[in-house]
Structure 1
Amino acid sequence: MSSYEYYNFPIQLIEGFLDDTKKVLINISHYCIYRVFIDNFEKYSGSFTGYQKACEDFGIEFKNVAASYQSGKELYDSTVNKSPMVGMTSEIYWDYMNNEKTEFEKVLLLGDLAFKSILGTKSYIKLDNKYWFSRMDGSVKSITKDELSPKIQRYLNEYQTKKIKNQLIANWGLSSYSRYNRGFYISYKMTLDDLAYHAEKIRKSTQDKKIKNDVKSAHEKAMERLAKENS
């Protein structure tokens, strides 16, 4: 049993999840334990025995503790200050570690983690499917469909993206809103009604600003024409 409710890690670590789920989850545990170990120096005394205690607190027993330490250190050093962080509950972690999951169930977890890595501490955000799927593939930046891993690529179509979002809305606490605009809004903190309100408020503000800029541009062009006629 883990003493930690959440496992927080860089989004890059989910790369290859559909190809080797266990390996990715083990890497996540290596990273999380190492980070807790170094962030709580006094608790774990910075010693090898302390690292073993950190493993016990996570409810994990490694056959090769030294190798897990080295793996965690390398993962930490390669991503520190370079990656958006995301977290999953220990309950979800162990569910996916110990139980067989369909590929679609794995995709749902990736979709959830990707959204949360983009949101960060924000209540809501607007994004598009390309950016969402880039994060599902462990990429910090938005990449093209051709650059995605083959298994992730297969889900980047209208039918599958809608199916994934609907499942996340029904069972994972997601709110999502899109109407007559490019991209879509998401939130895990707001109701659909509140999310729609903020999205439409932004859209109206954007429209009003465009109208104002169009009027300003038309005025400037008119003055230029008048100046030419009077020259």
Structure 2
Amino acid sequence: MTPKPQTAFIVGASRGLGLALATEYLKRGWRVIATVRGSARTKLHDLEASAGDRLKIEHLDIDVPAEVAALRQRLKNQLLDVLFVNAGVAIDPDKSMTELDTDAFTRMMVTNALSPMRIIEAFDSLVAPDGVIVAMSSELGSVGDNTDGGWEGYRASKAALNTLMRSYAARQGTSPRTLLLIAPGWVRTDMGGAGAPLDVSDSIPRVVDVVTAQTGRSGLQYLDYRGETVPW
């Protein structure tokens, strides 16, 4: 009897790192539930022909609580092996905090920190007891490694995500689930820019390798795409 494929739920998969995550898990034989924002066709939809019923696309704006609640209801009978929250934005990264618009800063804090944690809180009960919950962080979220500044608003939002994830982990007590904050490296995407040193293919397969290698290890870790610990 062929074993049932494992299921990865990837939040924010229309392009860039999220699309690469969905592609990589499908390549590895997994079943993937992936979200896109809005109703426009994306590159994720192009995977449907080859993936068949192993790919389910859902529409979700993570900043809209009613959409989160509706998707949670639609997926209420799903068992998830991996919950990977990837959604995020970077706005005016070259501006200092004295230059950054308040609305832009607020949007980054909500989309990069508050909304991912609300997703995790909403869907964690669907994750298998030996499953993995992952939030896509960044090396820029490290306070300890911040020696050159830059990307100030984005850094703050990812540092906030890291702190909220630590608080969440503390509330889980002795839960056997694996909790991860992953820094994928500086990757050539719309957000990372053309000058980034890593291609998506250099990062995401290794990210999935790290998630796989850490499965079964309880507690929270902050790791990069090579599996190395990132300073908090």
The TM tier, using the shorter chain, reads under 0.3
Q: Which has the larger radius of gyration?
A: 1
Larger helix percent: 1
- Please state which structure has a larger fraction of its residues in strand: 2
